[in-house]
Amino acid sequence: KTSSIAQIKPRRLKHKKLYSMIYSLVLPHSIPQTRSEEYLFMPSIHVCQRAKPYLIILVTTAPHNRKARQAIRDTWGGEIQVRGHRVMTLFIVGQPSDPVIGKELIEESKERGDLIQGRFIDSYGNLTLKTLSMLGWARRFCPQAHYLAKVDDDVLFNPSALLQYLNLSFKTEENDLTELYLGRVHMQVAPDHNPASKHFMSETAYTGMVFPDYCSGTAYVLSQPALLKLSLAADAISLPRPLYPEDVFVGICAHMAGITPTHSPLFSGSLYIFTFFLRTDASYMLPVLSHSESLIWLMSNDTLHKSHYTRGGTRRLPLRTHTHT
């Protein structure tokens, strides 16, 4: 039987107590019956064993947003070498309600080999299920990656600036990874009890006055140790209806796992600042992301080029697709 957040007040559990609770509920690499972490199609199950990415970027995308996915592939996405590290970008989607788009997704997956489709209906209300699917996939099929970056498909992301920032700020002498949950941190956010709001949450679904601090769902980074602990905490929680906002849910899971979110102003860059400083040498000062609805227009007009991000050679490698029926 899983634990319900409705019965959990926002307090941090001791690590030993947390692991005792979680491991009594779910083995690290098993799939609980309450979770549908099966994938209708995905790259080869050995994609991370072959590519050995240091950073894997999982982009949450809607089925119909093919132009946004292609814009990312044409700029900062794909499988590239950045600052001496392999970076790989994949896209995660749910099931579309339109069968025509569903067929187009299958063809895109066969052609590009970089799509992961979870077994859930793709909708705004199911973003938390998409995040659960993402965490489960990364834990099961890409445990080699040192870092996972979750990014929305309307975000202009800068892998080079991120890796520079991680190396400058979080690299230890022993090169051990810390439990890092990094992004733009929202603090002391109260649940929205307005039934007309798309962020509505009933008072019985969450009993606390405010949520634990959490990183904005636009983009955040998890180190490998944080990913493991957070995903295990997520598996131990039963979900209410309507679902929690996905970034709030990740914050609650991190809080349960004893992981404190780390704020960085580099996750709050405006589009103007980002493009203005894009060619400067002080790359560690560059914003890691910019959130803008004009992303596709900028990329389709060749305003941005992949070489601006990587500051070095870029080499693409093919990704093979593994399909489940």
| Torsion angle, alpha carbons of 105, 111, 113, 117, to 10 | 10
Decide which of 15 and 245 is more confident. 245
Residue 277 predicted with pLDDT over 50: no
Q: Is residue 322 part of a domain?
A: no
Mean pLDDT, range 87-107, rounded to an integer: 96
Q: Is residue 127 part of a domain?
A: yes
Q: Is residue 276 part of a domain?
A: yes
List, for residues 190-219, the tens digit of each pLDDT value. 998 888 888 888 888 888 899 999 999 999
Only one residue has tokens 């914003």, namely: 287
256-286 residues labelled b (16+ CB within 10 A) or e (exposed): bbbbebbebebbbbebeebbeebeeeebeeb
Number of domains in the chain: 1
Q: Is residue 315 part of a domain?
A: no
**Cβ atoms 58, 77 nearer than 8 A:** no
What percent of the chain clears pLDDT 90, i.e. is strictly above it?
50
Which neighbouring-strand residues pair with 238?
A: 4
Position 108 scores a pLDDT of 96
List, for residues 115-160, the tens digit of each pLDDT value. 999 999 999 989 999 999 999 999 999 999 999 999 999 888 889 9
* Distance in angstroms (rounded) separating the CA atoms of residues 10 and 261: 14
Q: Is residue 325 part of a domain?
A: no
Residue 94 predicted with pLDDT over 70: yes
User: Burial of 182 by CB count in 10 Å (0-12 exposed, 13-18 middle, 19+ buried)?
Assistant: buried
* Average model confidence (pLDDT) across the chain: 76
CA of residue 5 relative to chain centroid, distance: 22
Q: Is residue 273 part of a domain?
A: yes
Q: Is residue 318 part of a domain?
A: no
Decide which of 3 and 104 is more confident. 104
Q: Identify the CATH number of the domain in which residue 302 sits.
A: 3.90.550
User: Burial of 56 by CB count in 10 Å (0-12 exposed, 13-18 middle, 19+ buried)?
Assistant: buried
Position 265 scores a pLDDT of 84
Domain limits at 248?
3-28+36-309
Position 23 scores a pLDDT of 34
**Cβ atoms 221, 180 nearer than 8 A:** yes
List, for residues 164-190, the tens digit of each pLDDT value. 889 888 876 555 678 999 999 999 999
Position 212 scores a pLDDT of 94
* Distance in angstroms (rounded) separating the CA atoms of residues 194 and 311: 47
Only one residue has tokens 């309450």, namely: 34
Q: Is residue 317 part of a domain?
A: no
List, for residues 1-52, the tens digit of each pLDDT value. 344 443 344 444 444 444 434 333 333 333 333 343 489 999 988 999 999 9
List, for residues 300-316, the tens digit of each pLDDT value. 333 344 433 333 333 33
What percent of the chain clears pLDDT 70, i.e. is strictly above it?
70
Position 322 scores a pLDDT of 37
Type and span of the H or E element at 152: strand 147-152
* Distance in angstroms (rounded) separating the CA atoms of residues 156 and 131: 20
Decide which of 260 and 27 is more confident. 260
**Cβ atoms 216, 247 nearer than 8 A:** yes
Position 208 scores a pLDDT of 87
Mean pLDDT, range 270-286, rounded to an integer: 37
Position 132 scores a pLDDT of 92
